[in-house]
Amino acid sequence: MRENMVRMQVYLPRDIYERLQKRAAAHTLTLAVQIRTALEDYLERSEAEDEPILRPDDPIFEMIGMFSSKEGDLSVNHDYYLYGAPKREIIKPKPVAVREKPANYSGKRRSTSRKSKKS
């Protein structure tokens, strides 16, 4: 096992060192085993945090539109209905008046008559 190990020196706060010593005596573990286990757990947790929670193929997305409610604000105030949290105010956008501008063509108008001009 030593072949795959790298030796390093680490300074620990005294209180952590003493707690590790007590734990080592109580569980018949070495300090090295406890530290390696703690570091492995830390790395697994931090790598799991880097992964996205939802993937595009997650089955939760199949549930969209499957349920209905008489409450019109359920998506906004779900914490209120589940846990009693204060309701959120639903902000409705103000209607915007849109005026259509007339088309502005720069081309010349053609006459509709097809009379040829004689000189």
Please say whether the dihedral angle defined by the alpha carbons of residues 81, 87, 93 and 94, taken in this order, is positive or negative.
Answer: positive
Evaluate whether 90 touches 76 at the Cβ level (below 8 Å). Answer: yes
Q: DSSP label at 60?
A: G
Strands (E), the chain: none
Q: How many CB atoms lie within 10 A of CB 76?
A: 14
Which residue has 């992964």 as its token pair? 51
Longest dimension (CA), the chain: 120
Give the residue from 38, 29, 43, 32 showing the smallest Cα distance to 8: 32
Q: What is the pLDDT of residues 8-24, one digit of tens each?
A: 999 999 999 999 999 99
Q: How far apart are the first and last CA of the chain?
A: 109
- Which numeric CATH code is attached to 1-51? 1.10.1220
Look at the pTM and tell me if it is higher than 0.75. Answer: no
Domain boundaries, the chain: 1-51
Q: What is the pLDDT of residues 57-82, one digit of tens each?
A: 888 888 888 877 787 788 788 888 88
